[in-house]
Amino acid sequence: MLTYQTSEPVAVLIVGAGPVGLAAAVMLRRRGVNVRIVDAAPHGASTSRAAVIHARTLEVLSEIGVVGPILEEGVVVPDFTVRDGSQTLARLDFRGLHTDYPFTLMLPQSRTEELLRAELSRLGCEAERGVEFESFAGVGSGANEVAVLRHRDGTREKVTSRFVIGADGSHSRVRQEREISFDGSEYAASFVLADVSMTWSLAPDEVQLFLARQGLVVVAPLPGGHHRIVATMDDAPSEPSIADVQRILDERGPDDAVVRSVAWSSRFRVAHRLAASYRDGRVFLAGDAAHVHSPAGGQGMNLGIQDAVMLGGLLADVLSGARGEEALDDYELLRRPAAQRVITFTDRMTRMATLRGSSLRGVRNTVIRVLLRSPRRRGVLARRIAQLEA
């Protein structure tokens, strides 16, 4: 017979201590809410992974008091250029956006997490690592949720909380335990992700998107003079080497790029999926637990952080009595359509960018040139990428 430790009840249990879970915890702690945040992984992110922070997310991070240090460390990128080889098809200028942050900011996810953790610690809460959410044990008194956590030493603990946030990624155990479907499909191509030291002649403060016969490659600056490379491949190597990245740039990018070193690289496959519901009673999903999509435009972490801060604010309002529990319906009503828009947008971008036939590519390039000749259309696209659309 299993035995369980018991602990003091908390207002909100957050499962997942990535940027989404941490942002939710910071928001809640700023409002004085008693929070526990747990993660099965023994350590936080040590690699850059998601590296793009858009204008709307910077606005949201300002709400929770962490935008200052993030701005100090990130690379400001005001331009996004679309190319086919040496031809410039379009250039998006983010400087005209109606926001305090008219640019994209590049900062490794590992550092974003560290800054969020530091703020959470300052607010008197620490993420508990090596603590795995295992299941729900039923409903406690007062309609609270009871979660079972498993610690590294094998001990199990029952935690009673008023609400639970599942921010535990695309394979979310919280979502699975609540039997919420996660419908969608996987892209055929795999993606290369690499952080490299390189030299080339193009501007150091632009995101460059190259459309080529062999596939897509995106090159973006990172702090410390590094660059982030994202590229599609039919069958990418598990750990792309200098030679692999150099070959991608030689085939698809400018002819003068020289890769000096690879700090980190990986291969991944991407799906586009959306949870059928963001809420089941007192349990909520946020970030990749609720939605996944193509990395086109660097939208994913941004969408998740925005989920987290909105949800944290709603839960704090309900817990304080400022709003009734019916206000919690606003979370799904607003955030699920936002995810659907991003999934549709990134899917179109990915399919457009990965066209192979020369005739199709020619038509695509002409359409891009013609459509984005208009300043108004360029502004609309920049606002959409920055997630500032209504």
Two structure tokens written together for 14: 């957050």
d(CA 220, CA 367): 24
Three-state DSSP at 283 gives strand
On whether both 280 and 332 belong to a single domain, the answer is yes
Of the pLDDT bands very low, low, confident and very high (cuts 50, 70, 90), residue 351 is confident
Does residue 128 lie in a domain region? yes
CATH number of the domain bearing residue 199: 3.30.70.2450
On whether both 301 and 243 belong to a single domain, the answer is no
pLDDT at residue 3, rounded to an integer: 72
**Which residues is 159 bridged to in the sheet?**
147
Tens of pLDDT, residues 229-274: 998 888 888 889 999 999 999 998 877 899 999 999 988 888 889 9
Residue 119, pLDDT > 60, answer yes
On whether both 240 and 227 belong to a single domain, the answer is yes
Does residue 97 lie in a domain region? no
| Terminal alpha carbon distance of the chain | 54
On whether both 245 and 283 belong to a single domain, the answer is no
Tens of pLDDT, residues 163-179: 999 999 999 999 999 99
On whether both 158 and 239 belong to a single domain, the answer is no
Mean pLDDT, residues 9-26 taken together: 97
Predicted TM-score (pTM) of the model is 0.93
What is the total count of domains within the chain? Answer: 2
On whether both 191 and 260 belong to a single domain, the answer is yes
Mean pLDDT, residues 52-74 taken together: 96
pLDDT at residue 295, rounded to an integer: 81
Which domain, by its residues, includes 245? 187-270+352-385
The string of DSSP letters for 107-154 reads: --HHHHHHHHHHHHHHTT---EETEEEEEEEEE-GGG-EEEEEEETTS
